[in-house]
Amino acid sequence: MNKTKTLQIVAGDIPLAITLDDHQILKQLQSLYAPFAGGGDAACKIKIKVTKGTSNVSVQDQVDIKFSNHVYQVINSEYSARIDLKKKIGTIDISSDWKLEACSNAIKNVYTFLIINTGGLVLHASGVARQEQAYIFCGSSGAGKTTVAEISQENVVLGEELIGIKADAQSWRAFSIPYQQDCRFPRRSNDFFRIAGLFQLVQDTSNHIIPIPKPRALADFFILPVGFEKFTSCYNLLEKWHRLVNEVGCFELHFLPNSSFWHCITKSGGRSPRGHPVTLQPI
């Protein structure tokens, strides 16, 4: 008989306790989440069950997200999750067709939910930590988020798709959210890094950065995660984003697909006088 074991991880100062009785997956998760190993009073205790066959969603790509009475539910083709915020417990049913990938996606989703629930933000972005500062790269699909992360592997890669952000009294800090796709990067960290700048990616024939005016920065970077419009006040989220773009430099980064763009960023210090475009010589 399999014995249930518990995996404890921490991301963004949010401890999560995960129990499951599939030892093969548990071992894989332990390896995947090694940088996030930790303990503490769990913000949520999740029980993962692997069920045979496909999930109870008949349409392959359909995602159903609900939130009411402190309970958050997600149903898609890989898994179904139910998190009770008040009781701090949750269950995730994984289809045996997906296993590890489904576990990783479900845990990533749970963390997105917990981060927003505790006052943080989650960005659809890649992030790189360099000299104790975080550089966050945003853009639509194909803009180059993964490219930037892959080019920058000698640094700590916070993530290639999702980045967590929290504010303290002095600054905004970025952190990694546990995710399977990020484990291929050799340098990972569970630390917080002060954000040096937010960069909207534009692939170009030269490297240069251009400051983004605050109203446009708020419009460009603001994200309301799908399904969260019923969970969190849009106004409160907008207020946090406003504070973020007000306090952190926001730029368009026009870049070549090689590491030369880092010279462009660090030469400018990630900041420039407000209202003055910073255009450097092509590298």
Which range touches another protein (CB under 8 A), out of 1-9, 27-35, 189-197, 223-231? Answer: 223-231
Burial of 199 (0-12, 13-18, 19+ CB in 10 A): buried
Q: Is 223 in the site for another protein (CB under 8 A)?
A: yes
Among 215, 257, 269, 282, binds another protein (CB under 8 A): 215
Strand 44-51 relative to strand 14-20: parallel, antiparallel, unpaired? parallel
Site for another protein contains 277 (CB under 8 A): no
Question: What does DSSP say about strands 133-138 and 5-11: parallel, antiparallel, or unpaired?
Answer: unpaired
Pair 84, 90: CB distance under 8 Å: yes
Min CB(283)–another protein separation in Å: 32
Question: Do you know the residue count of the chain?
Answer: 283
Decide whether 37 or 219 has the Cβ nearer to another protein.
219
Stretch that binds another protein, among 129-137, 186-194, 199-207, 215-223 (CB under 8 A): 215-223
Task: Examine residue 64 and tell whether it contacts another protein (CB under 8 A).
Answer: no
Query: In terms of CB distance, is 39 or 215 closer to another protein?
Result: 215
102 within 8 A of 78, measured Cβ to Cβ? yes
Residue with tokens 């490297």: 207
CA distance 127 to 10: 18
54, 114, 39, 5: CA torsion to nearest 10: -20
Q: Residue from 40, 142, 213, 257 that binds another protein (CB under 8 A)?
A: 213
Is residue 247 at the binding interface for another protein, with CB under 8 A as the rule? no
242 belongs to the binding site for another protein (CB under 8 A) = yes
Q: Does 235 bind another protein (CB under 8 A)?
A: yes
Query: Which among 58-66, 81-89, 98-106, 228-236 is the span making contact with another protein, rule CB under 8 A?
Result: 228-236
Q: Which of residues 145-204 bind another protein (CB under 8 A)?
A: none
Nearer to another protein, 154 or 247 (CB): 247
Stretch that binds another protein, among 89-97, 105-113, 172-180, 209-217 (CB under 8 A): 209-217
The tokens of 89 are what? Answer: 């417990």
Rank residues 34 and 219 by Cβ distance to another protein and give the closer one. 219
Cβ 247 to another protein, closest distance in Å?
13
- C-alpha closest to that of 250 among 282, 226, 272: 272
DSSP per-residue codes, 209-251? EEEPPHHHHHHHH----TTGGGTS-HHHHHHHHHHHHHHS-EE
Contact residues: another protein, CB under 8 A: 213-216, 218-219, 222-224, 226, 229, 233-235, 237-239, 242, 246
